[in-house]
Structure 1
Amino acid sequence: MDRVSIVHENFLRRVAAEDFPVGETDVAALDAGEALGLYRAQVLSRALDLQSRVMQKAGQGFYTIGSSGHEGMAALGHALRVDDIAFLHYRDAAFQIARAAKAGQPEMMRDMLLSFACSVEDPTSGGRHKVLGSRSLMIPPQTSTIASHLPKAVGAAHAITLARRNRPEHAILARDGIAMCSFGDASLNHSTAQGAINAAGWTAVQGIPLPLLFVCEDNGIGISTKTPTGWVKATMSARPGVKYFEADGLDIFAAAQAAQQAVDWVRTHRKPAFLHLRTVRLYGHAGPDVVTSYLPRSEVEADEAHDPLLYSARGLVASGAATAAQALALYTDTLEEVAQAAQEMVDTPRLQNAAEVMASLIPPRREVASGNGPSVERRAEVFGSDMAQIDQPQPMSRLINWALHDLMLEYPETLLMGEDVGRKGGNYGVTQKLHSRFGPARVIDTLLDEQSILGLAIGLAHNGFIPMPEIQFLAYLHNAEDQLRGEAATLPFFSNGQWSNPMVVRISALGYQKGFGGHFHNDNSLAVLRDIPGLIIACPSTGDDAALMLRECHRLAREEQRVVIFVEPIALYPMRDLLEVGDGGWMRSYPAPDQRIASDSVGVHGDGDDLAIVTYGNGHYLSRQAQHDLSALGVAARVIDLRWLAPMPEDALLEAIGSRPVLIVDECRRTGGQAEALMAVVAEAGVKQFARLTAEDSFIATGPAYGATLPSRSGIVAAAQALLAQKTD
């Protein structure tokens, strides 16, 4: 017999004989109706696990990571309110079933079977994945994440706090609600979990309310790697700022009592807590996993002897809520009911083509209130002394700063967050004065942890805020890129467009900083961003474009619920001159607050017919210099500033190119850079002559050699001449 059958037969035999685990159950935590209700949730969760394996063998189901052994999470479904947002561990089917029962939603069995079957009728993902999640139950869908949902749980808890005074138009979380996230003992060791827990404690110690409950389901093993005995308690019971609770999650009565205590404590004190539940893992990690191949049979059998359904049956009998025969009958009847319902899944429709799969990559637009902007008096009050200079040409950093001022003035739900963005005003002064003018609740100085910064933004977006997190340098993003790929960008996809987390991520980026930073502060690779489906990437090169594009990025987030990356070229922040010292050729005036640049447009500079130089960012600055030099050589060039890197405005780009030969200037690396996509676009459009000039496949050095691996003004001129020479050969 396989382990699934063994556990099943053991349950039938032991309950019939009233051979329950040794010990006594304190039944005071639940009345008879509550106990029976939670047992039903546990039994349904178990029956669904069994059926998922049957469906997989029949080719009708596609997911077998189950919840068996973790059925004690039904206690959390009972203790929490339905409007408390819950970010779930993938073994928490019992939680979702219990919450559905609490909400009076009887269709959870069918919904989960549809999810197993990857049916388009699955109300959560529309057939894209087996996920736990429900919009009506306030459970954002999760896939098989390893603690990557914890940072956004911190953000959601903070969003509840902030919304009590500054409630966004699209807020969904109750003012007195709390947030919950659950995970396994193995996931606790992940840097993402440790960062989130640290961020929660760090926040609480400073006296900032954070109503968040962490729930660790400790089954003692992560696939095949054991958790040392006592490890979870030893590492969590004395964490500053985080209250520790523990309970035996095998015993639903004990779990319910501890869960209620922890929930009440968080709701009352508005501080984070950690609930440590003992569980077991039955059947192994997933369907194909043969657990006895890496664990001694005696250990496997010991866990099976602690089947939580046996503990629940013991408690039902002890409390008088049911007899052993009734508990057994409810189990067998549920198995039969699930098996019958699964037959309806045989012919269920499934996704058929790429268009159907991709239909939810982009979230739907949402209705937003129209704003008239701040009054002239209010704007003058906030801008203060800056108003005297607002009509004078300025460098990019100043114009971005003013654009942030106007966005925050017009949209109270707009928040900034990041390391040093507040009191210090950012590394390059881009966010200066915003903290003093809008306050610490809207300009949030975070701890040094990019995962926490992006997680905070995702969680805030869940409650209707428009977060604008800052990543201090592009190279630092790599510490947290899964928060974009695995969490932010996938949420509409896996929820069939029902959930979104719109934001504008500002990143100080790219190369050309003279004598500072090397490869950690000069990073010229956008490949990790370009690879994420659904992401919008913007990169301005002039100050006026930066202001106009930032406003459009904000609109895309607010109205179209998009995740947008705003790449700010560090070297162009202070740039004033273009061709010679003192010419002020790169300074720009601040555009009127109601103006924007659409994401389907490109910037066109010059009417020359000899050549089109396609570029962006620092490449645009250098190409404009090269354009001047080429003109002196008799070459009339048009410079096209791409501005929007993903999705690329291909139609506008090709129209601007016309019939000209094309030189692509890309400050990113030859491998994985934007030039690869641009080369494909022009080739597929039938452009006859084209070439590219890129950075070398190298990191950037510090000191005088900072630009040695990057495109240069003279290099662009030489590349243009070489391309045009080919034309006359």
Structure 2
Amino acid sequence: MLSALPGLDYTAVDGADPARLLAVAGEVADRVRAGRRPAVLHLRTVRFMGHAGSDAELAYRSRSEILADYARDPLLATAAVLARRGILAPAESLARYEQTRKLVMDQAEAMLGRVERLPDAAAVTAPLTERRTDRVSAAAGRAGAGRDKVFGGRLPESRGPLTLAQSVNAALHDALLTWPQAQVFGEDVARKGGVYGATRGLRKAFGANRVFDTLLDEQTILGVALGGALAGTLPIPEIQYLAYLHNAEDQLRGEAASLRFFSDGQYGNGMVVRIAGLAYQKGFGGHFHNDNSVAVLRDIPGLALAVASHPATAPALLRQCLALAEQEKRVCVFLEPIALYHTRDLHSDGDGGWLARYAPPDEWAATETPLGQVRTVRDGDDLALVTFGNGVPMSLRVAETLAAERGAGTRVVDLQWLAPLPAASMLAALDGVPRVLVVDETRAGGGVSEAVVAALVDAGYPGRISRVNSVDSYVPLGPAADHVLLGEHDVLTAARALLD
């Protein structure tokens, strides 16, 4: 099957023929280096013994089959070649083998008692939880030289108020300028500039080596990010829609985010995975383009999940993710709500309530959005709406309605970070408010509100708590989506009930 793949050099060798294997491996390596193209060296060999200690091969394989495998032992084949060529007699090969066995056993015995056992959970999770706050803060506040040239003489802070997509685009330009090792790649991100224009102009400004299109394959995209991070780049891969992350989520769970843990912090796959996601986009959709599930991302230890909601704060969130990836080798996911990309208004047509100016570099330090910090968007003392993403504009409109109807003061708190959940900052932001409604656009089961409510209960929050969610369902096409997605009327109804 591998030999049929176009453009891939394929060579098969018998693993029990070490002399030919060495020769062919050298030839394949030479071709790869000379042609700068990949190759597959396929070795036919055997696997000894069962998969685990409880796997007794004699229960399902015949004695003759097992002995036939032993006859193909690559070590025995190597010893036989050495003997035939008069390099090492069989007894000498056996002596070397036993000498190596003794060396390993002696080293193992010498280590017994010298290795300190991990004393507690904090020691176990240290590679995942260790912070470099000062270094991250300094990195997030850096700006690269030559901004005027990169932005074509028109700096984003001088362009007037921007949409979310425009602010992300400007932040990506600044990111590639600030971090020379950064690369942006994914489906349609280069020549086309992204499905929603978020990467427009990056390839022209920074070239095809730093901004490039990939195959339409999420496993390949994240696989390139894995290798790039180990090679010293700062990958910024894009997954075109949240629903397609599920095709490759184990690249993050089983590979990227676990490397710091299993290497005790010696290695890391620092990256920022940009994902256009969540629901509510109009015109087309269905569950492949409207996906409101982030459960898998919240379940990966050490992974940082940020959700942009407003053009004023999205650039700072993105810079924080890049600084975390660079300084802490942390895997970050930057979720961008599709439905808010080009939103301009908040309360009425033409009010420009969802536009914002782009902060210039001299304001970056003051507007930093550290990991674990929530943002109070609107103040009030009667009720708090804790939310994120699309829930932020919904909650602000509901707060305005409650003020007009009842004179109620509604505080709106944007979580910003969904993993790790910013519990301490959230509790501080809710101080003095007697009622909390968690406005969660994800599903009732496996959503974000479950964790938020649990954090409030665990901390002994004294007030009343309620939550409102989308329905446990895939997102259907057309107007039917309104039946299962959290709506503004749902938030208003729940808020009124909590105030009664």
The TM-score, its normalising length taken from structure 1, stands at 0.64
Distance 1:344 1:468, change over 3 A: same
Aligned partner (choices 299, 323, 331) of residue 89 of structure 2: 323
| 3-state SS of paired residue (1:665) | strand
> Greater CA deviation, 341-350 or 601-610?
341-350
> Greater CA deviation, 285-294 or 625-634?
285-294
Distance 1:407 1:389, change over 3 A: closer
| 3-state SS of paired residue (1:605) | strand
User: Cα offset for 1:389?
Assistant: 7.8
- Preserved CA contact (<8 Å) 2:176 2:183: yes
> Greater CA deviation, 479-488 or 400-409?
400-409
Residue 254 of structure 1: aligned partner: 20
Residue 493 of structure 1: aligned partner: 261
Distance 1:313 1:364, change over 3 A: farther
> Does 2:295 align with 1:524?
no
Separation in 2 of the partners of 1:359 and 1:607?
36
Separation in 1 of the partners of 2:416 and 2:142?
28
Separation in 2 of the partners of 1:379 and 1:577?
29
Distance 1:388 1:678, change over 3 A: closer
User: Cα offset for 1:372?
Assistant: 6.3
Distance 1:426 1:333, change over 3 A: same
Summarize deviations over 1:672-725 as a string: whole Å, max 9, x none: 111011001111222221100111111112112222212222221211111122
Identity score, percent: 49
Aligned partner (choices 351, 355, 376) of residue 122 of structure 2: 355
User: Cα offset for 1:623?
Assistant: 0.2
The amino acid that maps onto 1:357 is: V
> Greater CA deviation, 494-503 or 319-328?
319-328
Residue 452 of structure 2: aligned partner: 678
* Count of aligned positions: 489
- Preserved CA contact (<8 Å) 1:543 1:587: yes
Give runs of aligned pairs for residues 706-721 of structure 1, distance below 5 A: 706-721=481-496
The amino acid that maps onto 2:128 is: L
Residue 669 of structure 1: aligned partner: 443
| 3-state SS of paired residue (2:293) | coil
User: Cα offset for 1:279?
Assistant: 1.0
| 3-state SS of paired residue (2:468) | strand
Separation in 2 of the partners of 1:246 and 1:397?
49
Separation in 2 of the partners of 1:478 and 1:388?
34
Separation in 1 of the partners of 2:183 and 2:41?
31
Residue 236 of structure 1: aligned partner: 2
Distance 1:393 1:338, change over 3 A: closer
Separation in 1 of the partners of 2:96 and 2:131?
43
User: Cα offset for 1:364?
Assistant: 7.0
Separation in 2 of the partners of 1:274 and 1:412?
32
Separation in 2 of the partners of 1:535 and 1:716?
30
Residue 612 of structure 1: aligned partner: 384
Aligned partner (choices 40, 56, 62) of residue 296 of structure 1: 62
Summarize deviations over 1:486-531 as a string: whole Å, max 9, x none: 0000001111111111010000010111231111111001000000
Residue 373 of structure 2: aligned partner: 601
Residue 110 of structure 2: aligned partner: 344
Residue 40 of structure 1: aligned partner: none
Separation in 1 of the partners of 2:275 and 2:403?
34
| 3-state SS of paired residue (1:538) | strand
The amino acid that maps onto 2:391 is: G
- Preserved CA contact (<8 Å) 1:491 1:501: yes
Distance 1:635 1:590, change over 3 A: same
Distance 1:578 1:459, change over 3 A: same
Residue 583 of structure 1: aligned partner: 351
Give runs of aligned pairs for residues 135-284 of structure 1, distance below 5 A: 235-284=1-50
- Preserved CA contact (<8 Å) 1:362 1:562: no
- Preserved CA contact (<8 Å) 1:364 1:561: no
Give runs of aligned pairs for residues 19-98 of structure 1, distance below 5 A: none
CA root-mean-square deviation? 2.1
Separation in 1 of the partners of 2:110 and 2:156?
71
> Does 2:410 align with 1:637?
yes
Residue 464 of structure 2: aligned partner: 689
- Preserved CA contact (<8 Å) 1:421 1:432: yes
Unaligned runs of 5+ in 2: none
Separation in 2 of the partners of 1:557 and 1:337?
40
Distance 1:642 1:311, change over 3 A: same
Residue 39 of structure 1: aligned partner: none
Unaligned runs of 5+ in 1: 1-234
The amino acid that maps onto 1:670 is: A
Distance 1:324 1:269, change over 3 A: same
Separation in 1 of the partners of 2:120 and 2:142?
44
| 3-state SS of paired residue (1:344) | helix
Separation in 1 of the partners of 2:156 and 2:187?
30
> Does 2:472 align with 1:705?
no
The amino acid that maps onto 2:454 is: A
User: Cα offset for 1:336?
Assistant: 3.7
Aligned partner (choices 309, 328, 342) of residue 560 of structure 1: 328
- Preserved CA contact (<8 Å) 1:461 1:467: yes
- Preserved CA contact (<8 Å) 2:277 2:338: yes
User: Cα offset for 1:353?
Assistant: 2.4
User: Cα offset for 1:386?
Assistant: 4.9
| 3-state SS of paired residue (1:469) | strand
